[in-house]
Structure 1
Amino acid sequence: MTVVVGLLVAVVLIALLAVVHRYLWRRLVRDVSAPGGWWRRVGTVLAYVLPVLSLGAFVTRQAGTPFVVQQALAWPGYLWMALLLYLLLALWAGELVRLALRRVEARRDARVAEPEPEPEPASVPAGADAETSSDAPAPDAPAPDAPAPDAPADPGPRVEDPARRLFVARTLAVGATGVAAVTVGAGAYSVLNGPTVKRLTVPLAKLPRRAHGYRIAVVSDIHLGPVLGRSHCRRVVDTINRTQPDLVAIVGDLVDGEVDDLGHAAAPLADLESRHGSFFVTGNHEYFGDADAWLDHLRGLGVHPLENARRELPGFDLAGVNDVQGEAEGDGPDFDKALGDRDTSRASVLLAHQPVQIHDAVDHGVDLQLSGHTHGGQLWPGNYLAELANPTVAGLERYGDTQLYVSRGAGAFGPPVRVGAESDVTVVTLASKQA
């Protein structure tokens, strides 16, 4: 049954890609070029090649093809997917412009087709002889035998000027392509330039005075893989170290691949610096590969996994639960194991990858949950879709006595592009109400 559903989904996606690329070909190739021209030929080839690259970027990852093949397809395939999104949005906006132009032209043509009003007959001067006036022809009247002037010709249906139509099509095509390219370029730069630092103060009622000002560097969704590798990991580590935190919390989705392919990319994590160490909980993407192998590898780098476990730190308890994706492998979250026997008079901070785990956190009296997973939507308007699946997409919100902070993440899944959801490392400063 699962295989059948997967095949149906694949067929629907392929059909959707075909329809979308057919539309792009019409607007960006057929409407702006002459048959047999160089752009008609090149654009037609691209209309077939680009969707194949995008599908290949996903299929090779799922099929476990050699990592070098994944890397070769990932960059063009994923970037085209981002460009495709904003090309469609820009072209749909262009359709509104076309509609507005057609309405303006229709109104103009209607005014041109309106007949001019007939002149009023000349008035007879007062006192003039009525008979004489009636016999004398009006000065501007045609002679009795003169042919009537030609009536205005019926213009018939409006024929659109081909040159004008081509100009509009090319203008909209160039404009849409320019907007999409600039948007994706800026979004890629924001990812490849490294995350920004956000700072947030969170008061905790149970936090003692001695722990006031404790700083946790929260990072999630780094997504090391065929696109973002060792240099990206180094940028993230350097950003964290500059904040000089007391503790580093890596809240899942660190990798998209296997240790054999990406172990070297994660090596900079060994250089993380903090007073009380670095801690990690799994995200859903860790379970797409060998999660246990990654946990062992991270221990070797000095990063401490919290597998449904808890650590007592000065002033509060730090707990972590596995991601819900682990349930399929019998390795899901266990809140009772992580939190069940703790001293509830102490403040507690929970690391849990997905915001949806907040409801279990509330039931177990957690004071603060730190999560990721959403990417803040990553590509606008994806934030609206993320809102449908997550209680909080980004930022700090309160659920009863529990506060939830969701990071936008420091990397990107799929296209290495972010639009409207800047990547970040967040320094969460815990504040005591007794201070």
Structure 2
Amino acid sequence: MSTQLTPILTKFWDHPQSWTMATYEDNGGYRALRSALEMDPVDLVQVTKDSGLRGRGGAGFPTGMKWGFLPPHDGGPRYLVVNADESEPGTCKDIPLMMAAPHFLIEGAIITSFAIGSDTAFIYVRGETAHVYRRLLRAVEEAYAAGYLGKDILGTGYDLDIVVHAGAGAYICGEETALLDSLEGRRGQPRLKPPFPAVAGLYARPTVVNNVESIASVPLIVGKGAEWFSDMGTEKSQGFGIFSLSGHVKHPGQYEAPLGITLRELIEMAGGMRDPNHPLKFWTPGGSSTPIFTDRHLDVPLDFESVAAHGSMLGTRALQIFDDTVSVVRAVTRWNDFYMHESCGKCTPCREGTYWLAQILHRIEEGRGTSQDIDMLVDICDNILGRAFCALGDGATSPITSAVQYFREEFEAGCHTPASELFPPAASTLFANQETVQVTV
């Protein structure tokens, strides 16, 4: 195996009290903060640029460059907003990170806020994850008690407050401007850009919006150096990341490794496919809103450039693994149902397009498709792609068009045979049915 795991953010997740400040400080926590507060904020931004850290929330935009977009200080407030609204189907990295080691995020938020000149930071958490919300509240409380938050942090004269905000629960609030609207108390809907958040974000003030994993990586970069971080990964996709493996592998879970690792290597680390008689059929490199890959893409380096060159997106590194017992038609139908439900309704292509895609996909899944349905699917996708107000519409079309590209014969079979007959759902179930035991008292 050419690539090894790099347990960095996940290093002490197995500690019985991993989420406490004591455990975090025993593992070097908050040392980077002390160093950062002695640096010029301009130098902190430059260190982040030099590290090559790119956004870990999906788009992969250079983090330091985003910080550098803020206009010069005008005497008014500016904000850091951490996007912790993890809701992409298949994505499960930010929530376990905040549960197991929330102080990585807290320390990263303090350093980032100091670098951009913010005295108030917000962590926007998905409202359904009440356990994560409570754990973050406790971590923030610990940081205040230790003097890492509040007035005159560590005697430097720098003041910072962190607000943990629970959203009402909407996939669209993962889009940064919809998140800002929700944070301001309005219905979460994407804003027209420009202006971008760096110029007019939260409360119409300069704002940096970053993903949890991006901010959590900052203390490590400051503490160990930009070169340490950039030495991992590939030339243009530097550093490490948490890869979430789910589905038909023996040991699903979080695998922290340098960018550029391949799925073949990750499946090997995960103990292989769940059943050697059922090989890999298709998989998502970055969650359900990215074009699917097949077994021919096993050796594609999982970095931003290589995945894009093969027609997909690295996204959130949510690797959903499906073997040959799974109907592609059923899978993309379920994903489209999700996007249809979560569409905010602001724009016609997404609101109406996902609805009509659902009608056709369910017909094909039920074996009632027509010869025109497949071409109509692709045509509707083409009319949504690039015309929706935000990326939700584009993301809804990606798995459908790629599924038709690689598995058109399954869609054609939907003109006469239900997917449940071609691929019995029981065969793809991850957990065997448990027999009901009647207990007589």
Alignment TM class, shorter chain as reference:
under 0.3
Kindly name which structure, 1 or 2, has the bigger radius of gyration based on alpha carbons. 1
TM-score, length-normalised on structure 1? 0.26
Higher relative contact order (CA 8 A, sep 6+): 1
TM-score, length-normalised on structure 2? 0.26
